[in-house]
Structure 1
Amino acid sequence: MSQRHRSSEVPLPPKEELRAQQHGERHRIQVELKQVAHQVSAGVEPEDVHEPGVAWKPHHHHDAEVAKDKVANRNRRLRHWKTKMWKRRSAVRQAKADAFRVAGSE
C-alpha cells in the first residue's frame, strides 16, 4: 500500500474509529434530511423550512479537478483507430470490398 500521504508526525486513528465517525456523519445527514421531509409533509411551506445547505455534505478527500483530468487522459490514451492493427484491418477490408466490386462489375 502506498505510504505517500502518511507521515510519522501525525498518528492515524484506528480504522474502526474512522469508520464509526463516517457512519455517524452519514447518519446525521440522513436524520436532518428526514426532518426536513417530515416538516414539508406536515404542511410547512418548503420556503419556510431550514434546509441544510452545502455545509451538511461530507468533505471528499480527493480533488474533483484531478479526477476529471485523470479520466480525460485515460480515455485519450489509446484510440483504437490510430493503432497499426486497426489501420491494417481497415486496409484489408477496403481491399476486399474493392475486389468484390471489380468482380461484380465484370
Structure 2
Amino acid sequence: LNIAGGYRVQDPAADLAVAAALVSALSERPVSADAVAFGEIALSGEIRSVAHGPLRLKEAGKLGFERALVPAAMTGEKGGLRLSGFKTLAAFVDHMLGRG
C-alpha cells in the first residue's frame, strides 16, 4: 500500500478505509467523495470498533464529510453524519458493490 508522502500508518482504524480503496479500485466503482471510513478488520473478517470513534466522527463532520462507513458496534455521537455500520468485511464489500 502506498501512502502519499511516505507516511507509515500504524492505526488499525485505517483498515476499513484501505478495504474501501481496494474494493473501489478492483470494481471501478468510486467511493463517494462525501464518505469517510474507519474500523479495524480482524483476520476472521469481523469489523471491530476503534478508539475514539465518536471523536473521529465529529472531526469528519467538521471536515465536510456527510456519511461514515463504520463498524456496526459504533455508538454515541454521530457528528452529524449518516452512519452505515458493518459487522463483517463481506457485508461491507456487498455494500460497496451495491449488493446490500
The TM-score with structure 1 as length reference comes to: 0.21
Relative contact order (C-alpha < 8 Å, sep 6+): which is higher? 2
> In proportion to residue count, which structure has more strand?
2
> In proportion to residue count, which structure has more helix?
1
The TM-score with structure 2 as length reference comes to: 0.22
